Structure 1
Amino acid sequence: MTTATAELELTGARAGYGTVEVLHGLDLAIPPGKVTALLGVNGAGKSTTLRVLAGLIPLRSGSLTWRGEDITKVSTVDRARRGLMLVPDERAVFATLSVRDNLQIIAEASGHPDITPALESFPRLRERLTQRAGSMSGGERRMLALARALLARPSVLMVDELSLGLSPKVAADLFGWLATVASSGTTVVLADQYTEQALAMADLVYVLHRGERSFAGGPEEFRA
């Protein structure tokens, strides 16, 4: 896939934390309107890759393009304005605020103050509107984090470890919701360990190993 046809293209990416380099010349091309799964064990570089895409970690070398535009040095805020939204694995909610306030902040910032789409996607949040986000269960906080990202109207939705720490039932429900988002044409990048749920919805699979790409192909190729 070339830059002209990729939603996001990461080329020769080197990045890390302090003196530790995590990504070692990583190349990825994320197709538009598809689900791309980043698979690998803990420490493979999946979360670091998503943070690089979102602008939370700068590249030491290499480049990132979005729809053919070089955004290597574009800030996290400006990437978000372009629709690049990351839901990190550490539950991206304001714990001391109510569920309603968590949703309203994002809705108003996006210029569309109606939070109804989030409540329609996650009816359980309607029952928790006045509750502090930090007092909810892990699954409910995960729903709220996803609902906040939805209200930002992302063009690229990046989700880190969707099922981490959740019951199989809740995880299955969230994977189902993410599949619905993907079917609407939103580009989805999902970082996860080797799970059937991720493979079932993926159009393209990358496997990372120690910060390098060890596999690229379709889910059936991966299974084979």
Structure 2
Amino acid sequence: MTTATAELALTGARAGYGTVEVLHGLDLAIPAGKVTALLGANGAGKSTTLRVLSGLIPLRAGTLTWRGEDITRLSTVDRARRGLMLVPDERAVFATLSVRDNLQIIAEASGHPDITPALDSFPRLRERLTQRAGSMSGGERRMLALARALLARPSVLMVDELSLGLSPKVAADLFGWLATVAASGTTVLLADQYTEQALAMADLVYVLHRGERSFVGTPAEFAGGTPAGASA
């Protein structure tokens, strides 16, 4: 696969925070309609990469293309309008608003005000519609964040640390939901600490080590040996 045929492609990406550079000339090519797992130890640059793709962190050097279009200078809002949606590792919800309001805001902004698809995907949220989002459990807030992303009808869904802080059962349920989203044709980019679960659903694997790419290949190729910087 070439960068020209990828859904998203980073070329020579350099980015960081303040005077600290985290990504050092990173190249990625994310295939359309597939699940790509982004692996690596803490501090490898996984979250920074997702923030660069979504526009939260600007590139210091390099380019980003979406379906062949150079979007390096597009704002986060304009990237979201193209369907690039990030669910960060923080609880990405409006804590003071009700569950219904959290969902309705995104649904109306996307031009499709019906929140039923989100409630069908996460039935527990149907029972919490009037509850303030900040008073829910961590797993429920994670469900709400994913439901909000779903209502935005993403072309690329980027999820950072899906299972962070969640019980194994809740994490397994969310991985199952993400697999369903991927099966519908949505491009998924997943950065997560649970390598085994990420690999189980991935079509392509990248491993980052200190802001550089140390491996790219299929899960089967990854299983043949653990590259530097990969977490077990």
Q: Give the structure-2-normalised TM-score.
A: 0.95
Number of residues of Structure 1 aligned to a counterpart in Structure 2: 223
Does the CA-based 8 Å contact 1:154-1:186 persist in structure 2? yes
Unaligned 5+ segments in structure 1 are none
Q: CA deviation at 1:194?
A: 4.6
Q: CA deviation at 1:203?
A: 0.2
Write out per-residue CA displacement over residues 162-220 of structure 1, whole angstroms, 9 at most, x where no aligned residue. 00000000000000000000000000000112521100000000000100000000001
Name the CA distance, whole Å, in 2 between partners of 1:156 and 1:66.
10
Name the CA distance, whole Å, in 1 between partners of 2:6 and 2:52.
17
Does the CA-based 8 Å contact 2:86-2:157 persist in structure 1? yes
- What residue in structure 2 maps to residue 53 of structure 1? 53
Write out per-residue CA displacement over residues 31-59 of structure 1, whole angstroms, 9 at most, x where no aligned residue. 00000000011100000000000000000
- What residue in structure 2 maps to residue 216 of structure 1? 216
Does the CA-based 8 Å contact 2:84-2:158 persist in structure 1? yes
Does the CA-based 8 Å contact 2:164-2:193 persist in structure 1? no
C-alpha root-mean-square deviation of aligned residues, in Å?
Answer: 1.0
Does the CA-based 8 Å contact 1:40-1:194 persist in structure 2? no
Relative to structure 1, the CA distance from residue 76 to residue 41 in structure 2 (aligned partners, 3 Å threshold; closer, same or farther) is same
Runs of 4+ in structure 1 off by over 2 angstroms are: none
**Structure 2 counterparts to residues 2-81 of structure 1, below 5 A:** 2-81=2-81
Name the CA distance, whole Å, in 1 between partners of 2:41 and 2:137.
26
Does the CA-based 8 Å contact 1:13-1:27 persist in structure 2? yes
Q: CA deviation at 1:2?
A: 1.4
Does the CA-based 8 Å contact 1:41-1:194 persist in structure 2? no
Q: Give the structure-1-normalised TM-score.
A: 0.98
Does the CA-based 8 Å contact 2:163-2:194 persist in structure 1? no
Query: What is the SS of the residue equivalent to 2:120?
Result: helix
Name the CA distance, whole Å, in 1 between partners of 2:163 and 2:3.
31
Does the CA-based 8 Å contact 2:85-2:157 persist in structure 1? yes
Does the CA-based 8 Å contact 1:95-1:133 persist in structure 2? yes
